[in-house]
């Protein structure tokens, strides 16, 4: 029975051995590595156990079963440490977040009065006890064991969907992926930035378990997103497209990533973090669909200016329109995935046709159009027209053919320059002339 459960656990996926529990030494190492409660670090690695060296020797760990008095004492101690640390330092940043975590724990103790806590705050996670049981099999993100929802209590983080047993909540060593991605505000844009096992001291970067190639059940597993090595408990061989490979090579092949990377990508999949213009602008010339969508985003930005000023047109600002007409022109992985499968192209075509029809037929919006000064016809031009050219200096608009016929010279800009040349200079005053105040005073 135990061997069957071990084979079913994601910890032993793709392993040669069925059931081989951790040794006492490894367990003690893992427990010691998770004995300190901290917050996200600004280090380039994903070591969630990082604590500033200046406060690493202070005993700040508070167990989940701590009493109200112990928590109040820890809050007071943490306040003093915050005031004694320099402003904008890593120590103060870490302590402030830990202080918030202690206060949340204190509120939970006050509300629950010593009973089984429905909410637990640790490592940036906001755990809530799972009450409704379901038929879907779940695994603990800490020990990778099966969670028997009928007989075992479990917690789930509302921000990153981290799931663990009730008995494992105190040993959680992984930082909340939601906090990590919110602090970074961008994806890793280097393709598998591997540093090697020696840089990690031959230990799992998350739980600090010793890694070795001698035991297949504890062999190191490379995360293609972070370039770091994890143990089988922290790396379940989840697969996902890598943002760096998509932006640089338009490679959508799914590769193996760790649990922390999987949760980070899942949370940030719809967040506009990718600026292709600054990272890899040559991608537009190779992917025709991406170049077309990029042009449509510029057109939507012009349409948004017309629709926002029109009472009737503001109803056309759908969530997709607002998301894609952002001025920073950043993309999310969901946008790029929709471009790759062609679904975004059809949505944008339908959306632009509806907006264009309103702008051209609305008396208020069409009154803000432009007329070509070269040909002099009554055709109204708009900045989002493909056959129109907008002057960067004076915002005058011409037909593309008229613009080329005039040698790409704006007639309005020429008139303004001639007017400046023919304008009479102002009367020059001698700034060095001295006046005698007595001549003007009787």
Does the pLDDT at position 309 exceed 80? yes
Spans of all domains in the chain: 36-185, 299-368, 371-418
Does the pLDDT at position 15 exceed 80? no
The predicted model gives 237-260 an average pLDDT of: 95
pLDDT at 62: 65
- Backbone torsions φ then ψ of 64, nearest 5 degrees: -65, -20
The predicted model gives 227-244 an average pLDDT of: 94
Contacts for 229-233 with beta carbons within 8 Å, 24 or more apart?
A: 229/197, 229/200, 229/204, 229/205, 230/204, 230/205, 230/206, 230/258, 230/259, 231/204, 231/206, 231/207, 232/11, 232/12, 232/13, 232/15, 232/144, 233/11, 233/142, 233/143, 233/144, 233/204, 233/207, 233/209
The predicted model gives 129-142 an average pLDDT of: 79
pLDDT at 36: 33
Decide which of 431 and 177 is more confident: 177
Confidence band for 265, pLDDT divided at 50, 70 and 90: very high
Decide which of 25 and 353 is more confident: 353
pLDDT at 228: 94
Does the pLDDT at position 47 exceed 50? no
Confidence band for 317, pLDDT divided at 50, 70 and 90: confident
Decide: 335 and 272 in contact? Cβ < 8 Å.
yes
The predicted model gives 131-151 an average pLDDT of: 80
Does the pLDDT at position 268 exceed 60? yes
Q: Which residues of 391-409 are buried (b: 16+ CB within 10 A; e: fewer)?
A: beeeebbbbeebbeeeeee
The predicted model gives 294-313 an average pLDDT of: 85
Note the residue count of the chain.
442
Does the pLDDT at position 302 exceed 90? no
Does the pLDDT at position 64 exceed 80? no
Residue 437 token pair: 């105040």
- Mean pLDDT is lowest, of 102-106, 209-213, 256-260, 386-390, for 102-106
- Mean pLDDT is lowest, of 57-61, 105-109, 193-197, for 57-61
pLDDT at 326: 62
Query: Could you give the CA distance from residue 261 to residue 375 in angstroms, rounded to a whole number?
Result: 58
Q: What tens digit of pLDDT does each residue of 366-395 get?
A: 888 888 888 878 788 888 888 888 887 887
118 contact partners, CB below 8 Å, separation of at least 6:
112, 128, 129
326 contact partners, CB below 8 Å, separation of at least 6:
272, 297
pLDDT at 85: 83
Query: Could you give the CA distance from residue 47 to residue 292 in angstroms, rounded to a whole number?
Result: 41
Residue 51 token pair: 């604590």
pLDDT at 435: 47
CATH number of 36-185: 3.30.60.20
């Amino acid at each position: 029975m135990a061997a069957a459960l071990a084979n079913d656990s994601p910890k032993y996926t793709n392993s040669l051995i069925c059931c081989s529990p951790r040794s006492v030494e490894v367990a003690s190492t893992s427990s010691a590595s998770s004995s300190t409660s901290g917050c996200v670090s600004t280090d380039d690695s994903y070591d969630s156990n990082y604590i500033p060296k200046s406060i690493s020797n202070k005993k700040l760990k508070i167990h989940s079963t701590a009493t109200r008095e112990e928590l109040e004492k820890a809050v007071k101690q943490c306040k003093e440490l915050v005031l004694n640390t320099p402003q904008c330092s890593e120590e103060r940043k870490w302590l402030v977040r830990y202080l918030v975590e202690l206060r949340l724990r204190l509120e939970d103790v006050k509300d629950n009065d010593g009973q089984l806590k429905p909410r637990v705050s640790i490592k940036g996670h906001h755990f809530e006890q799972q009450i409704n049981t379901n038929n879907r099999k779940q695994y603990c993100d800490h020990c990778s064991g099966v969670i028997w929802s009928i007989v075992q209590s479990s917690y789930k983080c509302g921000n990153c969907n981290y799931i663990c047993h009730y008995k494992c909540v105190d040993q959680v060593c992984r930082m909340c992926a939601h906090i990590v991605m919110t602090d970074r505000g961008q994806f890793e844009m280097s393709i598998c930035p591997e540093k090697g096992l020696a840089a990690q001291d031959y230990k799992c970067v998350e739980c600090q378990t010793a890694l070795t190639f001698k035991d297949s059940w504890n062999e190191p597993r490379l995360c293609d997103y972070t370039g770091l090595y994890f143990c089988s408990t922290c790396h379940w061989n989840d697969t996902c497209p890598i943002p760096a490979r998509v932006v640089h090579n338009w490679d959508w092949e799914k590769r193996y990533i760790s649990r922390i990377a999987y949760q980070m990508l899942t949370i940030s999949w719809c967040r506009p973090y990718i600026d292709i213009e600054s990272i890899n602008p040559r991608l537009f010339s190779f992917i025709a669909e991406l170049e077309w969508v990029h042009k449509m985003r510029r057109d939507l930005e012009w349409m948004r200016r017309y629709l926002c000023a029109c009472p009737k047109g503001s109803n056309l600002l759908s969530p997709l329109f607002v998301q894609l007409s952002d001025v920073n022109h950043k993309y999310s992985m969901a946008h790029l995935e929709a471009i790759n499968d062609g679904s975004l192209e059809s949505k944008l075509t339908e959306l632009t046709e509806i907006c264009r029809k309103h702008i051209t037929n609305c008396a208020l919006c069409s009154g803000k159009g432009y007329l070509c000064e070269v040909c002099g016809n009554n055709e109204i031009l708009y900045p989002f027209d493909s056959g129109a050219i907008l002057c960067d200096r004076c915002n005058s608009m011409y037909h593309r053919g008229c613009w080329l016929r005039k040698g790409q010279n704006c007639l309005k800009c020429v008139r303004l320059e001639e007017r400046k040349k023919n304008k009479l200079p102002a009367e020059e005053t001698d700034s060095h002339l001295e006046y005698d105040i007595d001549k003007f005073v009787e």
